[in-house]
Amino acid sequence: MVVINRKVIRTFRKVLLILSRRKIFLYSLIYIGFLWVVSTLIFHFIEGVGLFDAFYWAVTTTATVGYGDISAATMIGKVTSIFVMLSGIGVLAVLLGAIAEIFIENAVNKRNKKEIKLENHIIICGWDNKLNIATKELLNSGKEIIVIACEEKLPMEHADLFFINGEPCDDQNLRMASVEQATHALISGKTDTETLLTAIAIEKLNPRINTTCIVSDHRVIKALEKSGVDKALSIDEFFGIFFSRSVHVPF
């Protein structure tokens, strides 16, 4: 029986999640899929081999590991083989480069990331235009804020605004944001699932924290309330000032 380490599974999922957000990776997958379909059909009709054998030839040729058991005999087939091999080298280089870049960035981030030691501060998980007004109002009221989001940088700068580039639902990122000492958390994930996972992670690390969430589907609100969230709002109910006031209670 093969036992797969949970850490390996989490790493694999994290890599897939990051890759799915990189356009170059998605474009490469679309291109290689299109290449396989077209080259399979060409080889099938020109060389007269079965569809599965033609697809097998396309995949092995793209990976430049052709075994020679299926090869082109016609001029068109040979030209197609050359094109597929050259394309395969380029696409695989892009894909492997994107994967390697993730591991390099992860190693650099782990080395550079340090815990932001604050107390009685606010943590904002996720970032989009909905949070601009709330963030500015909270900063103007003298609150210290740590933002955790998968963004290159934030569109605003402030002496009391700190930023952690990473997944908001990751326990390591939350601990770096001193979640145990935070008083409030504002969560607005890219998806309702991300919002729910982040809320669960925060409530687990700091059950005393006051948590407010924004979701696009009102049916998720009950699940959030069961997880210990203090306030959950559907996106239809959300307004910048109202959201800010909903969490801006006396500290």
- Calculate mean pLDDT across residues 142-166: 85
Cα separation, 125 vs 202, whole angstroms = 10
| 29-to-25, 43, 59, 91, 206 alpha-carbon distances in Å | 6, 21, 13, 8, 41
**Res 13: pLDDT:** 64
Using alpha carbons, list the distances in angstroms from residue 115 to 110, 111, 152, 204.
11, 12, 19, 19
Report the pLDDT value the prediction gives residue 249, as an integer from 0 to 100.
46
Q: Does residue 154 share a domain with residue 101? A: no
* Domain interval for residue 73: 6-112
- Domain boundary (85, 112, 139) is at 112
Report the C-alpha gap between 22 and 66 in whole angstroms: 29
State both tokens at 20: 């799915």
User: Model confidence over 192-244: pLDDT tens digits?
Assistant: 889 889 999 999 999 999 998 888 887 788 888 888 888 888 766 665 545 45
Domain shared by 91 and 179, yes or no: no
- Averaged pLDDT for residues 130-155: 83
Same domain (yes/no): 62, 137? no
Nearest Cα neighbor of 199 from 189, 147, 190 is: 189
Residue 190 to residue 183: CA distance in whole angstroms? 23
Q: Are residues 85 and 136 in the same domain?
A: no
Last residue of a domain, one of 112, 132, 161: 112
Listed residue (142, 145, 236) closest to 186, CA to CA: 145
Q: Do 92 and 134 sit in the same domain of this protein?
A: no
CA distances from 63 to 68, 92, 109 (A): 13, 7, 32
Q: Is residue 84 part of a domain?
A: yes
Asked, for residue 18, whether it belongs to a domain, the answer is yes
Same domain, 99 and 131: no
Indicate which CATH number applies to the domain containing 24: 1.10.287.70
Whichever domain contains 227, its CATH number is 3.40.50.720
Residue that finishes a domain, picked among 59, 87, 112: 112
Q: Are 181 and 202 in contact (CB under 8 A)?
A: no
Residues 196, 155, single domain; the answer is: yes
Q: How many domains does the chain have?
A: 2
Instruction: Note the pLDDT tens digit of each residue in 71-83.
Output: 888 898 888 888 8
Which residues have a Cβ under 8 Å from the Cβ of 34 and sit 6 or more positions away?
Answer: none
Instruction: Please check whether residues 105 and 178 belong to one and the same domain.
Output: no
For the cut 70, the answer to whether the pLDDT of residue 113 exceeds it is no
Q: Do 88 and 139 belong together in one domain?
A: no
Residue 228 lies in a domain: yes
